[in-house]
A and B are shown apart, each in its own frame.
Chain A
Amino acid sequence: MKRVILDKNIQKINIDARGSRPKFWFYFKDNPDEKWLFKNTNRSNKSGNQTKTYEDIGEVVFSRICKKLKVDCVEYKLATALNEEEKIEGVICKNYNSDNSVEMSGYTLLESYRRYIYDNYQGLQIPAENTLENYKLSLENLNFVQTENKKHKNAQSFSLNPEKIYRQLSRMLILDYLCCQSDRNWYNISFLIDDKTKTLEMAPLFDNGNIFSWNFRKAVIEQQYKILKRESAYSRYIELYNSKSMAMGIKTPVSHRNIDKQIQSNNVKIKDLPVGLFENELAEIIANDKMLSAFLDECGQIPLFIEEAFEDIADEEYTLLKDQSKMLAKVKFEHLQSLVNKKISEKEEDNEYNI
Protein backbone atom coordinates (compact mmCIF):
# COMPACT_ATOMS: atom_id res chain seq x y z
CA MET A 1 0.00 0.00 0.00
CA LYS A 2 1.48 3.29 -1.06
CA ARG A 3 1.48 6.12 1.40
CA VAL A 4 -0.60 9.15 0.46
CA ILE A 5 1.75 12.11 0.42
CA LEU A 6 0.40 15.28 2.01
CA ASP A 7 2.36 18.20 0.70
CA LYS A 8 1.28 21.24 -1.24
CA ASN A 9 -1.73 19.25 -2.43
CA ILE A 10 -3.56 19.90 0.85
CA GLN A 11 -4.83 22.85 2.85
CA LYS A 12 -4.63 22.48 6.63
CA ILE A 13 -7.75 23.60 8.51
CA ASN A 14 -6.94 23.25 12.19
CA ILE A 15 -5.43 21.04 14.87
CA ASP A 16 -7.72 18.49 16.52
CA ALA A 17 -6.83 18.47 20.22
CA ARG A 18 -8.42 15.10 21.00
CA GLY A 19 -6.21 12.15 21.85
CA SER A 20 -2.56 11.76 22.64
CA ARG A 21 -1.21 11.76 19.10
CA PRO A 22 -0.76 14.98 17.08
CA LYS A 23 -3.48 15.35 14.47
CA PHE A 24 -4.94 17.96 12.14
CA TRP A 25 -7.90 18.45 9.80
CA PHE A 26 -7.29 19.26 6.16
CA TYR A 27 -8.78 19.05 2.71
CA PHE A 28 -7.26 18.16 -0.65
CA LYS A 29 -7.09 21.29 -2.79
CA ASP A 30 -8.86 19.50 -5.64
CA ASN A 31 -11.83 18.70 -3.38
CA PRO A 32 -12.37 21.39 -0.73
CA ASP A 33 -15.74 19.97 0.31
CA GLU A 34 -14.33 16.81 1.87
CA LYS A 35 -12.64 17.07 5.26
CA TRP A 36 -9.93 14.59 6.23
CA LEU A 37 -8.02 13.96 9.42
CA PHE A 38 -4.30 13.23 9.57
CA LYS A 39 -2.99 11.45 12.67
CA ASN A 40 0.68 11.09 13.52
CA THR A 41 1.01 7.51 14.72
CA ASN A 42 4.56 7.78 16.03
CA ARG A 43 5.44 8.92 19.52
CA SER A 44 6.96 12.13 18.29
CA ASN A 45 7.29 14.23 15.16
CA LYS A 46 11.00 13.49 15.30
CA SER A 47 11.75 10.41 13.23
CA GLY A 48 13.84 7.51 14.51
CA ASN A 49 13.49 4.02 15.92
CA GLN A 50 12.83 5.23 19.46
CA THR A 51 9.70 7.10 18.43
CA LYS A 52 8.36 4.76 15.75
CA THR A 53 5.28 2.62 16.34
CA TYR A 54 3.23 0.46 13.99
CA GLU A 55 -0.07 2.02 14.95
CA ASP A 56 -0.50 3.21 11.38
CA ILE A 57 -0.43 -0.38 10.15
CA GLY A 58 -2.74 -1.28 13.04
CA GLU A 59 -5.33 1.28 11.92
CA VAL A 60 -5.29 0.03 8.33
CA VAL A 61 -5.34 -3.67 9.18
CA PHE A 62 -8.10 -3.33 11.77
CA SER A 63 -10.29 -1.33 9.38
CA ARG A 64 -9.80 -4.02 6.71
CA ILE A 65 -10.72 -6.79 9.15
CA CYS A 66 -13.85 -4.82 10.04
CA LYS A 67 -14.76 -4.42 6.39
CA LYS A 68 -14.59 -8.19 5.89
CA LEU A 69 -16.78 -8.74 8.94
CA LYS A 70 -19.20 -5.94 7.99
CA VAL A 71 -18.44 -3.97 11.14
CA ASP A 72 -18.79 -0.22 10.71
CA CYS A 73 -15.30 1.24 11.00
CA VAL A 74 -13.50 4.33 9.75
CA GLU A 75 -11.37 3.51 6.72
CA TYR A 76 -7.74 4.48 7.22
CA LYS A 77 -4.97 4.96 4.66
CA LEU A 78 -1.25 5.19 5.28
CA ALA A 79 0.04 8.71 4.77
CA THR A 80 3.11 10.91 5.11
CA ALA A 81 2.82 14.59 5.87
CA LEU A 82 5.66 16.70 4.53
CA ASN A 83 6.57 20.20 5.52
CA GLU A 84 9.74 22.28 5.48
CA GLU A 85 11.16 20.73 8.63
CA GLU A 86 9.59 17.31 8.99
CA LYS A 87 8.41 14.14 7.32
CA ILE A 88 5.70 12.66 9.53
CA GLU A 89 4.25 9.17 9.12
CA GLY A 90 0.69 8.46 10.05
CA VAL A 91 -2.77 7.73 8.72
CA ILE A 92 -5.59 9.69 7.13
CA CYS A 93 -9.33 9.15 7.22
CA LYS A 94 -12.42 10.98 6.04
CA ASN A 95 -14.53 12.90 8.51
CA TYR A 96 -17.26 10.45 9.60
CA ASN A 97 -19.42 13.27 10.93
CA SER A 98 -19.60 15.47 7.86
CA ASP A 99 -23.09 16.74 8.58
CA ASN A 100 -22.07 17.93 12.05
CA SER A 101 -24.42 15.69 13.99
CA VAL A 102 -24.22 15.99 17.76
CA GLU A 103 -21.44 13.65 18.84
CA MET A 104 -20.86 12.34 22.32
CA SER A 105 -18.10 10.18 23.69
CA GLY A 106 -18.63 7.02 25.69
CA TYR A 107 -17.62 9.08 28.72
CA THR A 108 -20.44 11.59 28.13
CA LEU A 109 -23.02 8.84 27.71
CA LEU A 110 -21.98 7.00 30.87
CA GLU A 111 -21.68 10.21 32.85
CA SER A 112 -25.22 11.28 31.88
CA TYR A 113 -26.48 7.94 33.22
CA ARG A 114 -24.49 8.33 36.42
CA ARG A 115 -25.97 11.78 36.95
CA TYR A 116 -29.50 10.58 36.22
CA ILE A 117 -29.21 7.83 38.83
CA TYR A 118 -27.66 10.23 41.35
CA ASP A 119 -30.41 12.83 40.81
CA ASN A 120 -33.35 10.42 40.77
CA TYR A 121 -32.35 7.78 43.33
CA GLN A 122 -31.42 9.84 46.36
CA GLY A 123 -27.77 10.34 45.56
CA LEU A 124 -27.08 6.73 44.64
CA GLN A 125 -23.55 6.45 43.26
CA ILE A 126 -22.90 3.97 40.48
CA PRO A 127 -19.35 2.94 39.60
CA ALA A 128 -17.60 5.01 36.97
CA GLU A 129 -16.61 2.08 34.83
CA ASN A 130 -16.11 1.95 31.11
CA THR A 131 -17.66 -1.50 30.79
CA LEU A 132 -20.13 -3.16 28.47
CA GLU A 133 -22.53 -3.71 31.35
CA ASN A 134 -22.52 0.00 32.14
CA TYR A 135 -23.19 0.88 28.49
CA LYS A 136 -26.10 -1.54 28.48
CA LEU A 137 -27.65 0.08 31.55
CA SER A 138 -26.97 3.58 30.19
CA LEU A 139 -28.63 2.83 26.87
CA GLU A 140 -31.68 1.20 28.47
CA ASN A 141 -32.05 4.17 30.80
CA LEU A 142 -31.62 6.63 27.95
CA ASN A 143 -34.32 4.81 25.99
CA PHE A 144 -36.68 5.05 28.96
CA VAL A 145 -35.99 8.78 29.40
CA GLN A 146 -36.45 9.48 25.70
CA THR A 147 -39.73 7.54 25.59
CA GLU A 148 -40.96 9.74 28.45
CA ASN A 149 -39.69 12.84 26.64
CA LYS A 150 -41.67 11.88 23.55
CA LYS A 151 -44.83 11.41 25.57
CA HIS A 152 -44.41 14.97 26.82
CA LYS A 153 -43.52 16.17 23.32
CA ASN A 154 -40.15 17.41 24.46
CA ALA A 155 -38.33 18.99 21.49
CA GLN A 156 -35.08 17.46 22.64
CA SER A 157 -36.27 13.88 22.35
CA PHE A 158 -34.66 11.34 20.05
CA SER A 159 -34.91 7.63 19.30
CA LEU A 160 -32.50 4.82 19.89
CA ASN A 161 -32.40 1.06 19.63
CA PRO A 162 -30.54 -0.08 22.78
CA GLU A 163 -30.37 -3.72 21.67
CA LYS A 164 -28.85 -2.85 18.33
CA ILE A 165 -26.21 -0.58 19.88
CA TYR A 166 -25.47 -3.10 22.62
CA ARG A 167 -24.88 -5.75 19.99
CA GLN A 168 -22.60 -3.38 18.05
CA LEU A 169 -20.62 -2.75 21.24
CA SER A 170 -20.42 -6.50 21.86
CA ARG A 171 -19.08 -7.12 18.38
CA MET A 172 -16.50 -4.38 18.92
CA LEU A 173 -15.53 -6.03 22.15
CA ILE A 174 -15.08 -9.46 20.55
CA LEU A 175 -12.89 -7.92 17.86
CA ASP A 176 -10.93 -5.93 20.45
CA TYR A 177 -10.33 -9.10 22.43
CA LEU A 178 -9.21 -11.15 19.44
CA CYS A 179 -6.98 -8.35 18.14
CA CYS A 180 -5.47 -7.53 21.58
CA GLN A 181 -6.79 -3.97 21.47
CA SER A 182 -5.29 -2.03 24.37
CA ASP A 183 -6.78 1.44 24.01
CA ARG A 184 -10.57 1.23 23.90
CA ASN A 185 -10.89 3.99 26.44
CA TRP A 186 -14.22 5.83 26.66
CA TYR A 187 -13.04 8.61 24.37
CA ASN A 188 -12.42 6.01 21.68
CA ILE A 189 -16.11 5.11 21.54
CA SER A 190 -18.52 7.62 20.10
CA PHE A 191 -22.22 8.13 19.43
CA LEU A 192 -23.99 10.42 16.99
CA ILE A 193 -27.48 11.89 17.04
CA ASP A 194 -28.61 12.44 13.47
CA ASP A 195 -30.22 15.86 13.32
CA LYS A 196 -32.69 14.93 10.58
CA THR A 197 -33.86 11.53 11.82
CA LYS A 198 -33.32 12.38 15.51
CA THR A 199 -31.83 8.96 16.06
CA LEU A 200 -28.87 8.00 18.21
CA GLU A 201 -26.43 5.63 16.52
CA MET A 202 -23.02 4.32 17.33
CA ALA A 203 -20.29 6.08 15.34
CA PRO A 204 -17.98 3.94 13.20
CA LEU A 205 -15.05 2.48 15.13
CA PHE A 206 -12.01 4.75 15.18
CA ASP A 207 -8.59 4.98 16.82
CA ASN A 208 -8.10 1.23 16.63
CA GLY A 209 -4.35 1.23 15.98
CA ASN A 210 -3.20 -0.17 19.33
CA ILE A 211 -3.69 -3.80 18.35
CA PHE A 212 -1.36 -6.79 18.72
CA SER A 213 1.12 -4.62 20.70
CA TRP A 214 1.95 -2.67 17.55
CA ASN A 215 2.06 0.50 19.58
CA PHE A 216 5.24 -0.89 21.16
CA ARG A 217 8.78 -0.96 19.81
CA LYS A 218 9.73 -3.59 17.28
CA ALA A 219 11.94 -5.35 19.84
CA VAL A 220 8.90 -6.04 22.06
CA ILE A 221 6.92 -7.50 19.16
CA GLU A 222 9.89 -9.60 18.07
CA GLN A 223 10.34 -10.99 21.56
CA GLN A 224 6.65 -11.89 21.85
CA TYR A 225 6.67 -13.59 18.49
CA LYS A 226 9.78 -15.56 19.36
CA ILE A 227 8.21 -16.92 22.55
CA LEU A 228 4.81 -17.64 20.98
CA LYS A 229 6.41 -19.35 18.02
CA ARG A 230 8.09 -21.90 20.26
CA GLU A 231 4.69 -23.00 21.48
CA SER A 232 1.70 -21.08 20.26
CA ALA A 233 -0.57 -22.30 23.01
CA TYR A 234 -2.90 -20.19 25.07
CA SER A 235 -0.92 -20.91 28.23
CA ARG A 236 2.10 -19.29 26.59
CA TYR A 237 -0.01 -16.28 25.74
CA ILE A 238 -1.18 -15.97 29.33
CA GLU A 239 2.38 -16.23 30.58
CA LEU A 240 3.37 -13.33 28.37
CA TYR A 241 0.24 -11.46 29.34
CA ASN A 242 0.97 -11.71 33.04
CA SER A 243 4.57 -10.66 32.65
CA LYS A 244 3.92 -7.76 30.31
CA SER A 245 0.22 -7.09 30.51
CA MET A 246 0.33 -3.71 28.86
CA ALA A 247 1.96 -5.13 25.79
CA MET A 248 -0.55 -7.94 25.44
CA GLY A 249 -3.74 -6.01 25.03
CA ILE A 250 -6.93 -5.61 26.95
CA LYS A 251 -7.80 -6.99 30.34
CA THR A 252 -11.19 -5.40 30.67
CA PRO A 253 -14.07 -5.04 28.23
CA VAL A 254 -12.94 -1.53 27.58
CA SER A 255 -10.09 0.05 29.46
CA HIS A 256 -10.88 2.10 32.50
CA ARG A 257 -10.39 5.74 33.22
CA ASN A 258 -10.91 7.32 36.59
CA ILE A 259 -13.89 9.63 36.38
CA ASP A 260 -12.54 11.76 39.23
CA LYS A 261 -9.13 12.17 37.63
CA GLN A 262 -9.97 12.55 33.99
CA ILE A 263 -6.51 13.47 32.88
CA GLN A 264 -4.89 10.41 34.41
CA SER A 265 -3.66 7.84 31.95
CA ASN A 266 -6.30 5.27 31.15
CA ASN A 267 -3.75 2.50 31.20
CA VAL A 268 -2.95 2.63 34.89
CA LYS A 269 -6.13 1.04 36.08
CA ILE A 270 -6.45 -1.99 33.89
CA LYS A 271 -3.77 -4.08 35.52
CA ASP A 272 -5.63 -5.82 38.29
CA LEU A 273 -8.63 -7.41 36.65
CA PRO A 274 -7.86 -11.09 36.03
CA VAL A 275 -8.01 -11.96 32.38
CA GLY A 276 -10.04 -15.10 33.13
CA LEU A 277 -12.85 -13.04 34.65
CA PHE A 278 -13.16 -10.88 31.57
CA GLU A 279 -12.98 -13.80 29.17
CA ASN A 280 -15.67 -15.69 31.05
CA GLU A 281 -17.96 -12.67 31.02
CA LEU A 282 -17.39 -12.25 27.30
CA ALA A 283 -17.99 -15.95 26.65
CA GLU A 284 -21.21 -15.76 28.67
CA ILE A 285 -22.47 -12.84 26.59
CA ILE A 286 -21.69 -14.66 23.34
CA ALA A 287 -23.17 -17.98 24.50
CA ASN A 288 -26.47 -16.25 25.27
CA ASP A 289 -26.81 -14.55 21.90
CA LYS A 290 -27.05 -16.56 18.67
CA MET A 291 -26.11 -13.58 16.50
CA LEU A 292 -22.96 -12.99 18.50
CA SER A 293 -22.11 -16.71 18.36
CA ALA A 294 -22.43 -16.56 14.58
CA PHE A 295 -20.25 -13.45 14.54
CA LEU A 296 -17.60 -15.23 16.60
CA ASP A 297 -17.63 -18.09 14.09
CA GLU A 298 -16.91 -15.58 11.32
CA CYS A 299 -14.05 -14.19 13.40
CA GLY A 300 -12.32 -17.54 12.99
CA GLN A 301 -11.28 -16.16 9.61
CA ILE A 302 -9.38 -13.20 11.07
CA PRO A 303 -5.95 -14.79 10.42
CA LEU A 304 -6.99 -15.08 6.77
CA PHE A 305 -8.25 -11.48 6.75
CA ILE A 306 -4.91 -10.38 8.21
CA GLU A 307 -3.07 -12.22 5.43
CA GLU A 308 -5.25 -10.44 2.86
CA ALA A 309 -4.90 -7.07 4.60
CA PHE A 310 -1.14 -7.28 4.22
CA GLU A 311 -1.28 -8.16 0.52
CA ASP A 312 -0.54 -4.62 -0.60
CA ILE A 313 1.59 -3.78 2.44
CA ALA A 314 4.38 -5.84 0.95
CA ASP A 315 7.34 -4.29 2.73
CA GLU A 316 9.61 -6.96 4.25
CA GLU A 317 9.57 -5.01 7.50
CA TYR A 318 5.93 -5.90 8.05
CA THR A 319 6.23 -9.68 7.69
CA LEU A 320 6.88 -9.89 11.41
CA LEU A 321 3.63 -8.01 12.18
CA LYS A 322 1.65 -10.23 9.87
CA ASP A 323 2.98 -13.51 11.29
CA GLN A 324 2.79 -12.39 14.91
CA SER A 325 -0.79 -11.09 14.62
CA LYS A 326 -2.07 -14.15 12.77
CA MET A 327 -0.69 -16.33 15.51
CA LEU A 328 -2.15 -14.22 18.33
CA ALA A 329 -5.58 -13.98 16.68
CA LYS A 330 -5.67 -17.74 16.13
CA VAL A 331 -4.67 -18.57 19.71
CA LYS A 332 -7.19 -16.15 21.19
CA PHE A 333 -10.00 -17.22 18.85
CA GLU A 334 -9.56 -20.90 19.68
CA HIS A 335 -9.52 -20.14 23.38
CA LEU A 336 -12.60 -17.91 23.30
CA GLN A 337 -14.52 -20.37 21.17
CA SER A 338 -13.73 -23.22 23.56
CA LEU A 339 -15.02 -21.09 26.46
CA VAL A 340 -18.21 -20.27 24.55
CA ASN A 341 -18.77 -23.92 23.64
CA LYS A 342 -18.33 -24.86 27.28
CA LYS A 343 -20.92 -22.27 28.34
CA ILE A 344 -23.36 -23.50 25.70
CA SER A 345 -22.91 -27.12 26.85
CA GLU A 346 -23.48 -26.07 30.46
CA LYS A 347 -26.63 -24.26 29.43
CA GLU A 348 -27.93 -27.28 27.54
CA GLU A 349 -27.20 -29.52 30.51
CA ASP A 350 -29.09 -27.12 32.78
CA ASN A 351 -32.04 -27.14 30.39
CA GLU A 352 -32.13 -30.95 30.29
CA TYR A 353 -31.96 -31.06 34.07
CA ASN A 354 -34.83 -28.58 34.37
CA ILE A 355 -36.97 -30.61 31.96
Chain B
Amino acid sequence: MSITFNYMNFELGVLRFENDTFVYNSNPQEEQKAKIASFGFLDYDLYNSVNLLSKKPFIEFQPFLSQATREDIAKLCNITSKDSDIEKLIKMANKNIRLGAYSLSLK
Protein backbone atom coordinates (compact mmCIF):
# COMPACT_ATOMS: atom_id res chain seq x y z
CA MET B 1 0.00 0.00 0.00
CA SER B 2 1.26 3.49 -0.84
CA ILE B 3 0.67 6.79 0.89
CA THR B 4 0.68 10.08 -1.00
CA PHE B 5 2.10 13.09 0.83
CA ASN B 6 0.34 16.29 -0.25
CA TYR B 7 0.84 20.03 0.15
CA MET B 8 -2.40 21.80 -0.76
CA ASN B 9 -3.41 20.05 -4.01
CA PHE B 10 0.12 19.06 -4.95
CA GLU B 11 1.17 15.41 -4.62
CA LEU B 12 4.73 15.81 -3.38
CA GLY B 13 5.62 12.12 -3.35
CA VAL B 14 4.73 8.58 -2.42
CA LEU B 15 5.70 6.61 0.69
CA ARG B 16 5.83 2.80 0.68
CA PHE B 17 6.90 0.32 3.33
CA GLU B 18 8.88 -2.69 2.10
CA ASN B 19 11.05 -5.15 4.03
CA ASP B 20 10.68 -3.17 7.25
CA THR B 21 11.96 -0.06 5.46
CA PHE B 22 10.29 3.21 4.50
CA VAL B 23 10.77 4.03 0.80
CA TYR B 24 10.04 7.50 -0.57
CA ASN B 25 9.76 8.60 -4.19
CA SER B 26 9.29 12.23 -5.16
CA ASN B 27 7.09 13.72 -7.77
CA PRO B 28 9.57 16.45 -8.86
CA GLN B 29 7.16 18.44 -11.02
CA GLU B 30 4.62 18.67 -8.23
CA GLU B 31 7.37 19.50 -5.76
CA GLN B 32 8.37 22.47 -7.89
CA LYS B 33 4.80 23.68 -8.21
CA ALA B 34 4.34 23.38 -4.44
CA LYS B 35 7.57 25.25 -3.82
CA ILE B 36 6.37 28.14 -5.96
CA ALA B 37 2.85 28.11 -4.49
CA SER B 38 4.24 28.21 -0.94
CA PHE B 39 6.76 31.00 -1.71
CA GLY B 40 9.45 28.51 -0.76
CA PHE B 41 8.09 27.88 2.72
CA LEU B 42 7.70 24.12 2.64
CA ASP B 43 8.55 22.03 5.71
CA TYR B 44 10.01 19.47 3.35
CA ASP B 45 13.45 18.07 2.66
CA LEU B 46 12.68 15.14 0.37
CA TYR B 47 13.09 16.91 -2.98
CA ASN B 48 13.97 14.69 -5.96
CA SER B 49 14.00 11.48 -3.92
CA VAL B 50 14.35 8.25 -5.86
CA ASN B 51 13.80 5.16 -3.73
CA LEU B 52 15.05 6.99 -0.66
CA LEU B 53 15.31 4.47 2.19
CA SER B 54 14.96 4.84 5.95
CA LYS B 55 14.37 2.49 8.85
CA LYS B 56 12.54 5.28 10.68
CA PRO B 57 9.70 7.40 9.30
CA PHE B 58 10.98 10.49 7.47
CA ILE B 59 10.74 13.64 9.61
CA GLU B 60 8.08 15.07 7.27
CA PHE B 61 5.69 12.39 8.57
CA GLN B 62 6.49 12.90 12.26
CA PRO B 63 3.91 15.64 12.82
CA PHE B 64 1.22 13.19 11.66
CA LEU B 65 2.52 10.39 13.88
CA SER B 66 2.64 12.67 16.89
CA GLN B 67 -1.05 13.45 16.37
CA ALA B 68 -2.10 9.81 15.93
CA THR B 69 -2.98 9.40 19.59
CA ARG B 70 -5.16 12.51 19.77
CA GLU B 71 -8.54 11.29 20.94
CA ASP B 72 -10.65 12.35 17.96
CA ILE B 73 -8.08 11.30 15.36
CA ALA B 74 -7.48 7.89 16.95
CA LYS B 75 -11.21 7.32 17.09
CA LEU B 76 -11.94 8.41 13.52
CA CYS B 77 -9.04 6.41 12.10
CA ASN B 78 -9.44 3.45 14.45
CA ILE B 79 -5.82 3.73 15.57
CA THR B 80 -4.78 1.60 18.53
CA SER B 81 -1.68 1.62 20.72
CA LYS B 82 -0.58 -1.62 19.05
CA ASP B 83 -0.38 -0.07 15.59
CA SER B 84 3.05 0.39 14.06
CA ASP B 85 4.06 3.74 12.56
CA ILE B 86 3.21 2.63 9.04
CA GLU B 87 -0.15 1.28 10.16
CA LYS B 88 -0.93 4.61 11.80
CA LEU B 89 0.03 6.52 8.66
CA ILE B 90 -2.06 4.23 6.43
CA LYS B 91 -5.07 4.61 8.69
CA MET B 92 -4.66 8.40 8.70
CA ALA B 93 -4.20 8.47 4.92
CA ASN B 94 -7.37 6.41 4.57
CA LYS B 95 -9.25 9.25 6.24
CA ASN B 96 -7.33 12.00 4.40
CA ILE B 97 -6.13 13.57 7.64
CA ARG B 98 -5.00 17.17 7.14
CA LEU B 99 -2.37 19.00 9.14
CA GLY B 100 -2.60 22.59 7.99
CA ALA B 101 -1.81 22.61 4.28
CA TYR B 102 -0.29 19.10 4.44
CA SER B 103 -2.32 15.92 4.12
CA LEU B 104 -2.03 12.19 3.56
CA SER B 105 -4.02 10.08 1.14
CA LEU B 106 -3.95 6.52 -0.10
CA LYS B 107 -2.70 5.83 -3.59
- A residues contacting B by CB (< 8 A) are 14-18, 20, 22-24, 40, 44-45, 102-105, 107-109, 111-112, 155-156, 158, 193, 262-263
Which residues of A sit under 8 angstroms from B63, Cβ to Cβ?
262-263
B52 at the interface (CB under 8 A from A): no
A109 to chain B, nearest CB (A): 8
B97 to chain A, nearest CB (A): 5
Pairs A-B, 10 closest by C-beta atoms: A263-B66, A22-B72, A17-B99, A104-B41, A17-B67, A17-B97, A156-B39, A108-B41, A22-B71, A102-B38
Q: Which residues 55-91 of B sit at the A interface, judged by CB distance below 8 A?
A: 59, 62-67, 70-73, 76
Q: A22-B70, A22-B71, A103-B100 are in contact. Are A17 and B43 (CB under 8 A)?
A: no
Interface size class of B (residues with CB under 8 A): 20 to 34
Chosen A-B contacts, 27 in total, with CB atoms closer than 8 Å, are A15-B97, A15-B98, A16-B98, A17-B64, A17-B67, A17-B73, A18-B99, A22-B70, A22-B73, A23-B72, A24-B72, A44-B71, A102-B39, A102-B41, A103-B100, A105-B100, A108-B43, A111-B43, A112-B40, A155-B36, A156-B36, A156-B40, A158-B39, A262-B62, A262-B66, A263-B65, A263-B66
Which residues of B sit under 8 angstroms from A158, Cβ to Cβ?
39
B1 at the interface (CB under 8 A from A): no
Query: At the interface, is chain A mostly helix, strand, loop or mixed?
Result: mixed
Using CB atoms, name the residue of chain B closest to A146: B39
Which residues of A sit under 8 angstroms from B67, Cβ to Cβ?
17-18
Tell me the complex Cα distance, A108–B102, Å: 13
Tell me the complex Cα distance, A161–B17, Å: 45
Which residues of B sit under 8 angstroms from A20, Cβ to Cβ?
70
Using CB atoms, name the residue of chain B closest to A193: B39
Tell me the complex Cα distance, A105–B42, Å: 11
